[in-house]
Amino acid sequence: VQFYLSQVLDCYASLSAQKKWNEEEYSPTRRKLISALENTTGYNPENLLKRLPLDALYEERALLLGRMQQHHLALSLYVHK
């Protein structure tokens, strides 16, 4: 999970600096990160959540909030973002 997150964050930083980040595009690495977040339990969701940007990676944020039993917040991300 950490490996995929680091790669996605690097990609996000590069693309957002160029104003080319598209929240709706899912690179293969981003898909692997989402799959790992859904299917793996050996990570601390709170620590990972702190690493996410506030203005992107909403699906990843919602998955982490769900792992933290913050289902209302997770659902609000899906509804409003």
Could you report the per-residue pLDDT of 12-44, keeping only the tens digit for each?
Answer: 999 999 999 999 999 999 999 999 999 999 999
The secondary structure of the chain as a DSSP string is -HHHHHHHHHHHHHHHHTT---TT---HHHHHHHHHHHH--SS-HHHHHHHS-TTS-HHHHHHHHHHTT-HHHHHHHHHH-
pTM of the shown model:
0.90
pLDDT tier at 78, thresholds 50, 70, 90: confident
Look up the domain containing 59 and give its range: 2-80
Number of domains in the chain: 1
The pLDDT value recorded for residue 81 is: 77
Categorize the per-residue pLDDT at 80 as very low, low, confident or very high, splitting at 50, 70 and 90: confident
